[in-house]
Amino acid sequence: MARTPGKAKHGHHIGNQRHKQPRQRAETLSETSRNTRRGCTLNKWSEERMKSATDEFRKGESGLRQVARAWNVPKSTSARRVKGIVSGWKHKSGKQPVLPAAAENELHALISTMCARGFPFSRKYIQCLAFQCAHHYGLKGFNNERGSAGYYWMRGFSKRHSNLSCRKPEALSSATAASVNKSVTNSWFDKYEQTLEELQIKNVPSHIWNADESGLQDYYVSQSVVSVEGKACYEINPGEKGETTTLLATFNAVGDYAPLMFIFKGKRLKAEWCVGAPVDSIVRVSDNGWITSELFVEFGKNFVSSLPDNDTLPHILLLDGHCTHVYNIEFLRLMKQHNVHPFCFPPQATHCLQPADVALFRSMKHHWTTEGRKYMRQTGGKKPDKKQFFKLFQSGWKNSATVETAQSGFRQTGIFPANRNAIPVESRIP
């Protein structure tokens, strides 16, 4: 039966009235909310609007669809809150984690504590710990046969605790970790500062020296490379391991460098090996390429001969506890005759206290590897022999042995100016 014109008009008028009120409420929203509504996707709504929409629906004045459209919130999401399926107003999309927030926070605290003590966990071990934690609380959701949490839980856990990251740890021996503690370093700095005061050279950086040796190997491996994904990546090297040549360097807090000493592995030194050696340097050989007590005495003679003759102030020479340095009577007598006072670092602590380790040798080994890789690319993987040693060495040494590098090493370790607080706190944590 057809409607009368009056009824049709009346019905149309009622429809306009029904949709007019929600449209007016929508216009009261901010410009940001209206823009969000145009491209509304997952969780593009605020908790305040969701609460207002559900409160208005409970008054019974409008339907759920109309209220959701008016407040620019998803109808299905508001329906779950009205029915009590989801409690609270926080965004909760997707499957919830197996472990509750309290259990995850407990696991996160354990990971942080063990990492600070020098025992970090791998991803696999964390997944096993999560499974054990769920078993302890009687929670289900992990694979019982595998006995660990899954990949997606681990990925979600990393996102929920963004301060965790996966990286390669630095190896640290237990002896080193025990040596680099506040009591040991403070005791050493007390003796060091007292010695500087007695020698009256606390503010004389030109008289504070550091001598140390390091091995340069003819085996060059890049730290990281770019390769094709899914295919094996190889790097051509002339051999499985390299031969070591020892470099003994000495420099002071001003940035002056004493003559160098080089020790090749061999029985007899050949003249062609010395071509290109730095001026006033000493080139010698030993059975294994390492320094000996006799060679260290020869270095000492070369070092004192480079000191100014008309300077009456004493010098202090900072060394590690190597047997060729400490248990060497001839060397100690030589230093005493020339008013040079050897002073040793505490055992297992040179990686954070010795300027040579912190600055000079770190830079030198980087440039040494770079020059070696360049040589092998030019020669098709050929191993450089001892005749090419100084050709590779000179370029790297020029870039490393700078005044800035020397001063930075003394400053970072707190040797000059004397500052025991210069050692990073994280070096003492384990």
Q: Is the pTM of this model over 0.75?
A: no
Q: How confident is the model at residue 40 (pLDDT cuts 50, 70, 90)?
A: very low
The verdict on 58 and 193 lying in the same domain is: no
Q: Which residues contact 312 (CB under 8 A, 6 or more apart)?
A: 339
**Mean pLDDT, range 374-393, rounded to an integer:** 88
Cis peptide bond N-terminal to 169, omega within 30:
no
Angle at CA of residue 377, ends 372 and 381, nearest 5°? 85
The verdict on 362 and 250 lying in the same domain is: yes
3-state secondary structure of 237: coil
Q: If you average pLDDT over each of 101-105, 112-116, 273-277, 320-324, which comes out highest?
A: 273-277
**Mean pLDDT, range 76-91, rounded to an integer:** 72
The verdict on 329 and 388 lying in the same domain is: yes
Confidence at residue 12, expressed as pLDDT on a 0 to 100 scale: 41
Q: How confident is the model at residue 2 (pLDDT cuts 50, 70, 90)?
A: very low
3-state secondary structure of 396: helix
Cα distance between residue 313 and residue 198, in whole Å: 11
In a domain, 242, yes or no: yes
Number of domains in the chain: 3
The verdict on 299 and 383 lying in the same domain is: yes
In a domain, 18, yes or no: no
Confidence at residue 183, expressed as pLDDT on a 0 to 100 scale: 82
CA torsion, points 276, 277, 280, 281, in degrees to nearest 10? 180
Confidence at residue 181, expressed as pLDDT on a 0 to 100 scale: 77
CA torsion, points 398, 283, 348, 171, in degrees to nearest 10? 60
**Mean pLDDT, range 77-97, rounded to an integer:** 70
Confidence at residue 178, expressed as pLDDT on a 0 to 100 scale: 62
Q: How confident is the model at residue 381 (pLDDT cuts 50, 70, 90)?
A: confident
On the question of pLDDT at 122 being above 60, the answer is yes
Confidence at residue 111, expressed as pLDDT on a 0 to 100 scale: 86
DSSP class per residue in 76-139? HHHHHHHHTSS-SSS---SPPPSS-HHHHHHHHHHHHHHHHTT-PPPHHHHHHHHHHHHHHTT-
The verdict on 216 and 322 lying in the same domain is: yes
Angle at CA of residue 107, ends 105 and 111, nearest 5°? 115
In a domain, 385, yes or no: yes
In a domain, 71, yes or no: yes
Confidence at residue 10, expressed as pLDDT on a 0 to 100 scale: 42
Q: How confident is the model at residue 430 (pLDDT cuts 50, 70, 90)?
A: low
**What average pLDDT is seen over the chain?**
82
Q: What does the DSSP 8-state code read for residue 307?
A: S
On the question of pLDDT at 22 being above 60, the answer is no
Domain boundary among 55, 88, 121: 88
On the question of pLDDT at 94 being above 80, the answer is no
Q: How confident is the model at residue 287 (pLDDT cuts 50, 70, 90)?
A: very high
More confident residue, 173 or 380: 380
On the question of pLDDT at 351 being above 70, the answer is yes
Residue with tokens 């000492």: 300
Confidence at residue 384, expressed as pLDDT on a 0 to 100 scale: 86
Domain boundary among 59, 88, 117: 88
Task: Cite the beta strand spans of 218-371 per DSSP E.
Answer: 244-252, 261-265, 282-286, 315-319, 340-344
**Mean pLDDT, range 89-106, rounded to an integer:** 75
CATH of the domain at 323: 3.30.420.10
The verdict on 119 and 238 lying in the same domain is: no
3-state secondary structure of 146: coil
381: containing domain? 181-223+233-427
3-state secondary structure of 322: coil
Confidence at residue 334, expressed as pLDDT on a 0 to 100 scale: 95
In a domain, 40, yes or no: no
Q: Which of 78, 77, 48 is nearest to 62 (CA)?
A: 78
The verdict on 143 and 54 lying in the same domain is: no
Confidence at residue 90, expressed as pLDDT on a 0 to 100 scale: 56
Confidence at residue 222, expressed as pLDDT on a 0 to 100 scale: 66
Cα distance between residue 192 and residue 343, in whole Å: 8
Q: How confident is the model at residue 6 (pLDDT cuts 50, 70, 90)?
A: very low
CA torsion, points 301, 306, 310, 313, in degrees to nearest 10? -80
The first and second tokens of residue 168, run together, are 């390669």
The verdict on 292 and 354 lying in the same domain is: yes
pLDDT tens sequence across 45-65: 777 888 888 888 888 888 888
Confidence at residue 136, expressed as pLDDT on a 0 to 100 scale: 86
Q: How confident is the model at residue 343 (pLDDT cuts 50, 70, 90)?
A: very high
Q: Which residues contact 243 (CB under 8 A, 6 or more apart)?
A: 217, 218, 265, 289
On the question of pLDDT at 418 being above 90, the answer is yes
Cα distance between residue 188 and residue 198, in whole Å: 15
The verdict on 420 and 297 lying in the same domain is: yes
pLDDT tens sequence across 219-274: 777 666 676 777 777 766 666 677 899 999 999 999 999 999 999 999 999 999 99
Confidence at residue 175, expressed as pLDDT on a 0 to 100 scale: 62
More confident residue, 45 or 105: 105
The verdict on 377 and 416 lying in the same domain is: yes
pLDDT tens sequence across 128-186: 989 988 888 888 888 888 888 988 888 889 888 888 888 777 666 666 666 667 888 88
The verdict on 185 and 119 lying in the same domain is: no
More confident residue, 251 or 81: 251
Q: Which residues contact 236 (CB under 8 A, 6 or more apart)?
A: 376, 381
Q: How confident is the model at residue 429 (pLDDT cuts 50, 70, 90)?
A: low
The verdict on 344 and 255 lying in the same domain is: yes
In a domain, 307, yes or no: yes
More confident residue, 71 or 89: 71
Q: For the sheet containing 340-344, what is the strand order?
A: 282-286, 261-265, 244-252, 208-217, 315-319, 340-344
